[in-house]
Structure 1
Amino acid sequence: MHIKIAKKNTWVLFTVIAVIFGLIAAYTSVSIVRKYTDTDKVVIAAGDIRAYRKVTLDDVKVVEIPKVAIPSDAVKSLNDIVGKYLMYPVSAGDIIRASKIADMKISSLLSAQLTHLKDPKMRAFALPFTKETGLGGNIEPGDRVDIVASVKIDTNTGPVGVGKIVAQNVQVLQVEKPSSGGTGIVIVALTPQQIEDIAFALTSGQLRFALNPYETDVNAAKTEGVTGKAWFEKYGFTLPGEGTSDTIKNKQ
């Protein structure tokens, strides 16, 4: 009799244990399934968004995706991104992340951009340009440009024309496009010394801009510069007073 009771109790115990493990397995399975099927709303880029351009309602949209794929700093409301600026470019379909939004506690967007460069020497400086001097007006924020000065300097023997790249691979921060036949503004990041050199060039001549590729050879822009005399000599011309005639002649 005792043996039968013991066997019965053992069977009940095993049954209870089996039920408990079954419930645990079921709960675990449900949790795993829920983890990969539960969704939440997030804001994504509707198209490619450039860095440091004000985000509009057309740039973003709200979608539902599995919670497991949502980063902890994901933006979930359009109100948290529309009208603000991203410090990094975002591709279409990417989740908008709070860590990429320019710090609105900084006094201005330009301050945010300069701060993001992580070089305390840099300053924002505005320069004029036209379609002729600025690549047809096709300068965009985020571009890198060389700044070329073409100036005339008074000397004891008269004015001397000089052409020189005075700043290489300069970061473009903001651009105000020129109207037809008008003048635009390009705001760039420069060192104080570059600002002084370029300000002098503006009083004595003209600036032009050359666009750099993404992977540029900065050393290629470290040139000797050109003067009128050097230019004539380079291309084989004789200046007046150096030959038998008062006219410019080609030596070649």
Structure 2
Amino acid sequence: MSFLKNRTVIGVICIILSLVICFAVTPLFNQSISEKTEIVRVVKPVKLGEEITVDKVKTVEVGGYNLPDDVVKNLDTTIGKYASADLAVGDYIIASKIADEPAAENAYLYNLTGEKQAISVSVKAFANGLSGKLQSGDIVSIIAPDYKKQGATVIPAELQYVEVIAVTATNGYDANTGEPSEDDEKELPGTVTLLVTPEQSKVLAELEADGKLHISLVYRGDAANSAKFTEAQDAVLTELYPPMEKTSEEAASEPSSDGAQSESTESEVSDTAETPAESEVE
């Protein structure tokens, strides 16, 4: 009899538990699943370091169950921010995937104002790039062996003081842009990116095509002192390439236009002089 009583008690307990689950737990679970919330979703691909604009994201309503705690729900939170990871169409944005500033490895590209350009040159030999010791912010000179095939090794006047803005390893990642950690594997530089004017970029492109250039370090240190070197270089460039106020074509066209005006004035005077003469004859 005790055995049957135990089975009865167990059965009653099971029935009570099932009723609790059916009428208490299940409705609460269904309610949490059915709750809707708005989140920010990507509608156009966004690459690492790109700015998130209004046409690349939108707010959509989705089920709130099982969403990450840091999912972004406000559109204003994402507009104007930069992607810290590649975002594909349909991805929802979480706080860890956006940043106030572009990624450190290409932040320098967002500081270009249009007056100067970023151009990369190859480091074809280990010694050509200061044995991998170059860093962002260094002031360097570009040495050109057999410059313009004249047999002389010179530092072109356009490239006496040039600022390094990035040193990129052969794997495509920037090197020497910050403090290395003990776990980081040392990568040899493959290219050096320089901040130059259009005139300087043309000279660098010629040297890159010839495959002959050597980089020497001039200064590393305070930004204010580095600016003195670049200002001196800008002064040299102004002497080499003075700004033209008027082109030769414009200067040539001005005398011709003045001559045309004088001719038209003379013709008008002659016409007015002839008119009274005709009336007197009549």
TM-score normalised by length of structure 2:
0.40
If each structure's helix is expressed as a fraction of its own residues, which one has the higher value?
2
